[in-house]
């Protein structure tokens, strides 16, 4: 929707003001605000397209330009402010020079140069304005999209445009309170802490306004994978590399190194599917992920991460791998015979040892009787009667035969 007096439209439909951007076609240069309706980045319409404006010397003439633009958009406000931005921004911009004296009612009445197309613009040349009423408060963070490399420090600022005084600042990171009660915020980028950073301004316990920025922490791919993967010969198996990176990796390359050579396959997938595995599929699979790291100054680097998976193709019974079987062939007859011989000898040794143990046990339990050198000499036993006189009892013999006294 394009209209010449958004101030009137805003007063008629206040509920939908956050859904529309202001635009004006009355002057020679059409402008609008994003997100609008009375604040945001200035966009210009040129050659049939809307693009963000990049105004040379806006950091010097921003206050005058903001008054002219608010008038052109139909806001009869006196508290018209230029909200500064930081860093270098990338994208499509309509670039021109501008020098307003504050008395103009349209941007085309200022000293405007030739409009050209650009793909980047520094924050201090990007017009971001707010057309405020007398009692209105606007909180604005200097950069609404912070990009920083992992481990590096970053900073941003919270600006407050309000007629009130004595307010205080509060910062929240990913909706958790951060003890940092100042306008300027300094932090260290961490890939696990990327997300939302919000600045809130309050007065006497009442929130006057807030604004947020997104922190993008860029880092090259880091990959996790299994060290060894086994797959049965003739079966299928999927191997996977889990990639963590920002921005997301745009290319994945799989390289298989075998005894027969190396082959490479480019893919956007984090998985590699092995179909009907054979000896030729055994080897080291290297997955390599890459992404583009674009830094705030416009410098672009390529981030890379790798991981190696060792794939072994085994027989269906889980024995020797297919590659080992192909290289060594079937086991020879000599090896089989030698194993059988040694097994038989071991069995004989066990039997002999068992017999020896049995003999020793029998001997201990039943010791043998030594022979008397002089033949079957009787052994006499002496007994004592009740009278105390010793008497000779009948003879006892060592053998079981019947012996008589001569």
- The model's pLDDT over 181-220, given as tens digits with 9 standing for 90+, comes to 899 999 999 988 899 999 999 999 999 999 999 999 999 9
CA atoms lying within 13 Å on the CB side of residue 64: 17
- Is the pLDDT reported for residue 2 higher than 50? no
b (16+ CB within 10 A) / e for 213-227: bebbbbbbbebebee
Residues of the chain with CATH 2.60.40.10: 137-218, 226-327
C-alpha distance from residue 185 to each of 139, 149, 159, 306 (Å): 15, 17, 11, 36
- Is the pLDDT reported for residue 244 higher than 90? yes
pLDDT (mean) for 48-73: 94
C-alpha distance from residue 285 to each of 56, 173, 237, 272, 288 (Å): 54, 41, 13, 9, 10
Residue 287 has a pLDDT of 95
Residue 338 has a pLDDT of 52
Task: Indicate the fold that domain 1-132 takes in CATH.
Answer: Mac-2 Binding Protein (3.10.250)
Q: What is 137-218's CATH number?
A: 2.60.40.10
Dump pLDDT digits (tens) for 83-100.
Answer: 989 888 889 999 999 889
Task: Considering only the C-alpha atoms of the chain, give the largest distance between any 2 of them, rounded to a whole number of Å.
Answer: 167
**First-to-last CA distance in the chain?**
153
Residue 318 has a pLDDT of 56
- Is the pLDDT reported for residue 47 higher than 60? yes
Q: What is 226-327's CATH number?
A: 2.60.40.10
Q: What are phi and psi of 29, to 5 degrees?
A: -115, 120
pLDDT (mean) for 37-51: 96
Residues of the chain with CATH 3.10.250.10: 1-132
- Is the pLDDT reported for residue 391 higher than 80? no
Dump pLDDT digits (tens) for 162-190.
Answer: 999 999 999 999 989 987 889 999 999 99
d(CA 156, CA 10): 31
- Is the pLDDT reported for residue 232 higher than 80? yes
Inter-residue contact 148 to 216 (CB < 8 Å): yes
pLDDT (mean) for 336-353: 67
Residue 379 has a pLDDT of 38
b (16+ CB within 10 A) / e for 279-313: bebbbebbbbbbbebeebeeeeeebbbbbebebbb
Residue 352 has a pLDDT of 76
């Amino acid at each position: 929707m394009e209209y010449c007096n958004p101030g009137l439209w805003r007063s008629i439909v206040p509920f939908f003001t956050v859904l529309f951007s202001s635009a004006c076609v009355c002057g020679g240069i059409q402008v609008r605000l994003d997100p609008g309706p009375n604040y945001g980045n200035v966009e210009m319409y040129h050659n049939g397209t809307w693009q963000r404006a990049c105004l040379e010397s806006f950091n010097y003439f921003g206050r005058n330009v903001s008054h002219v633009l608010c008038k052109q958009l139909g806001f009869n406000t006196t508290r018209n402010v230029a909200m500064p931005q930081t860093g270098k921004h990338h994208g499509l911009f309509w670039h021109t020079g501008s020098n307003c004296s504050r008395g103009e009612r349209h941007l085309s009445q200022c000293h405007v140069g030739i409009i050209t197309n650009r793909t980047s613009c520094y924050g201090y040349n990007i017009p971001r304005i707010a057309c405020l009423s007398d009692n209105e408060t606007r909180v604005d963070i200097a950069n609404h999209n912070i990009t920083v490399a992992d481990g590096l420090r970053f900073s941003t600022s919270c600006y407050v445009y309000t007629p009130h005084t004595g307010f205080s600042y509060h910062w929240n990171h990913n909706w958790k309170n951060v003890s940092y009660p100042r306008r300027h915020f300094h932090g260290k980028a961490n890939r696990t802490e990327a997300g939302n950073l919000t600045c809130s301004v309050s007065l006497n316990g009442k929130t006057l306004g807030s604004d947020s920025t997104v922190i993008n922490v860029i880092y090259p791919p880091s990959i996790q994978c299994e060290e060894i993967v086994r797959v049965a010969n003739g079966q299928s198996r999927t191997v996977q590399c889990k990639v963590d990176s920002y921005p997301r990796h745009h290319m994945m390359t799989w390289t298989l190194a075998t005894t027969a050579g190396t082959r490479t396959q480019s893919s956007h997938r984090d998985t590699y599917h092995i179909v009907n595995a054979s000896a030729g599929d055994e080897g080291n699979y290297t997955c390599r992920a890459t992404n583009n790291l674009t830094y705030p100054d416009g410098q672009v680097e390529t981030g890379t991460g790798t991981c190696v998976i060792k794939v072994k193709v085994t027989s269906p019974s889980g024995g020797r791998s297919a590659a080992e079987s192909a290289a060594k062939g079937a086991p020879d007859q000599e090896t089989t015979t030698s194993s059988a011989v040694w097994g038989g000898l071991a069995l004989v040794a066990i039997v002999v040892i068992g017999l020896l143990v049995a003999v020793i046990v029998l001997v201990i339990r039943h010791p043998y009787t030594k022979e008397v050198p002089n033949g079957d000499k009787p052994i006499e036993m002496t007994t004592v009667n009740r009278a105390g006189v010793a008497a000779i009892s009948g003879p006892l013999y060592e053998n079981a035969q019947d012996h008589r006294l001569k």
